[in-house]
């Protein structure tokens, strides 16, 4: 099993340009053939592109320098060198490319696409390029353009539809397993989940819905306590937050307040997102009166908690229905992409068959025809 990596520094280098060639035409009976040195090929680019198969940056090796191919040199007979092959580095959706020195955000893969991080060097011109009326036989060519090694910081902020947030051992992984086909590690001790787990709900809103189980949040997480900021960033881009409250926790009445405080300290915008509140482990909670009072206190705050047992499935239908309702409402607000109008097909005009030229036979001169006399001057 690969270790989850959401931040890594990478070194890349684009390909160098190929050198131009110094060459002269040499043929039999051609004493001064002139310059025919070809241009060098351009170096390959380094390109980052998104991949649906990747969920982390574990495949990036920080000790390795990723290099594109160099352009090939030019040759005689005006043959240009071949362009160097581009190097394509695949990254997951949500990856940010950052300048490690200035901290500037260079590109953010919130949608499928590519980003050219380093352009290949230009190929040098061959001596044929430098031929002029006054300089008929240039004996020099241009070298290929050199390239430098560059460093980038790759930081992943996962893009999911739903994020599960709660204390350690609140039952988030069990809920993820109940909602999706994911099979996360589940145990009754803190920080069983050390990295975000991903699951997919099928056929909920006509497309797959991605659910992310974020490692447990403790009081002080926004200041780095526990797993801290390492994973709070992964809920920045979710559409819906599900707050999972552990009814077995001795401080159950303060759980939601602590979670909201930590999230607000990290980014106040997160609390403006749609959310669900679920009270998990009702199958183990015997104090029904306390549960009733707890639900009543939440309702006074304008909340509508869902009693749930992710283990037995009790309350799961209501959770799915609420998710479907909120997601459909959220997706409907997104701007619709304009479809490109299809260009009308133009029928190829068929040329009319060319008319055959009719050659008329020349008129035969009469045998008795008298030659014309020249006109008197």
Do the Cβ atoms of 244 and 171 come closer than 8 Å? yes
β-pairing, 114-118 vs 46-50, is antiparallel
Q: Rounded to an integer, what distance in angstroms lies between the CA atom of residue 38 and that of residue 223? A: 61
Q: Rounded to an integer, what distance in angstroms lies between the CA atom of residue 329 and that of residue 332? A: 5
The residue whose two tokens read 């009814």 is 247
How many other CB atoms sit within 10 Å of the CB of residue 158? 24
Report helix, strand or coil for 197: strand
Q: Rounded to an integer, what distance in angstroms lies between the CA atom of residue 180 and that of residue 173? A: 10
* pLDDT value of residue 357: 44
* pLDDT value of residue 234: 77
Alpha carbon 204 to its chain's center: 25
* pLDDT value of residue 346: 41
Joined together, the tokens standing for residue 69 give 């191919």
**206-220, pLDDT tens digit by residue?**
778 888 888 777 665
* pLDDT value of residue 9: 94
**Superfamily in which the 162-333 domain is placed by CATH:** P-loop containing nucleotide triphosphate hydrolases (3.40.50.300)
Instruction: Band the pLDDT of 31: cuts 50, 70, 90.
Output: low
**148-164, pLDDT tens digit by residue?**
999 999 998 877 889 89
Same fold, 1-157 and 162-333: no
* Cα dihedral value 202, 205, 210, 214, nearest 10: -120
Q: Rounded to an integer, what distance in angstroms lies between the CA atom of residue 155 and that of residue 114? A: 16
What are the φ and ψ backbone dihedral angles of 21, each rounded to 5 degrees? -105, 140
Q: Rounded to an integer, what distance in angstroms lies between the CA atom of residue 34 and that of residue 29? A: 13
**334 pLDDT above the threshold of 60:** no
Domain extent listing, the chain: 1-157, 162-333
Instruction: Tell me the pTM.
Output: 0.69
Q: Is CATH 3.40.50.300 the classification given to domain 1-157?
A: no
Residues 6+ apart with CB under 8 A from 222: 228, 229, 232, 262, 263, 265, 266
């Amino acid at each position: 099993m690969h270790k989850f990596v959401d931040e890594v520094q990478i070194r890349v280098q684009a390909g160098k340009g190929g050198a131009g060639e110094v060459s002269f035409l040499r043929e039999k009976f051609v004493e001064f053939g002139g310059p025919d040195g070809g241009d060098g090929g351009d170096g390959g680019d380094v390109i980052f592109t998104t991949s649906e198969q990747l969920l982390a940056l574990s495949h990036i090796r920080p000790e390795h320098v990723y290099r594109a191919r160099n352009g090939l040199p030019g040759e005689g007979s005006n043959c240009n060198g071949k362009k160097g092959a581009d190097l394509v580095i695949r990254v997951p959706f949500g990856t940010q490319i950052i300048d490690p020195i200035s901290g500037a955000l260079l590109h953010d893969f919130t949608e499928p696409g590519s980003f050219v991080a380093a352009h290949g060097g230009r190929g040098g011109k061959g001596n044929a390029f430098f031929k002029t009326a006054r300089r008929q036989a240039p004996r020099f060519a241009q070298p290929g353009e050199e390239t430098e090694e560059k460093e980038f910081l790759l930081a992943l902020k996962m893009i999911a539809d739903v994020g599960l947030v709660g204390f350690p051992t609140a039952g988030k992984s069990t809920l993820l397993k109940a909602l999706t086909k994911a099979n996360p590690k589940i145990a009754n001790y803190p920080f069983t989940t050390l990295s975000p787990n991903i699951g997919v709900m099928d056929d909920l809103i006509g497309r797959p819905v991605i659910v992310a189980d974020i490692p447990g949040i403790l009081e002080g997480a926004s200041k780095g306590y526990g797993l801290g900021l390492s994973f709070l960033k992964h809920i920045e881009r979710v559409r819906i937050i599900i707050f999972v409250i552990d009814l077995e926790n001795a401080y159950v009445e303060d759980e939601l307040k602590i979670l909201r405080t930590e999230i607000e300290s990290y980014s106040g915008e997160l609390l403006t997102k749609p959310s669900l509140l679920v009270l998990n482990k009702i199958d183990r909670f015997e104090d029904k009166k306390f549960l009733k009072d707890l639900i009543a206190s939440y309702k006074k705050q304008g909340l509508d908690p869902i009693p749930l047992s992710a283990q037995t499935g009790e309350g799961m239908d209501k959770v799915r229905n609420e998710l479907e309702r909120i997601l459909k409402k959220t997706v409907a607000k997104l701007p619709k992409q304009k479809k490109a109008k299809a260009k009308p097909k133009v029928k190829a005009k068929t040329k009319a068959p060319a008319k055959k030229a009719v050659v008329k036979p020349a008129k035969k001169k009469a045998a008795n025809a008298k030659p014309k006399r020249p006109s008197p001057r």
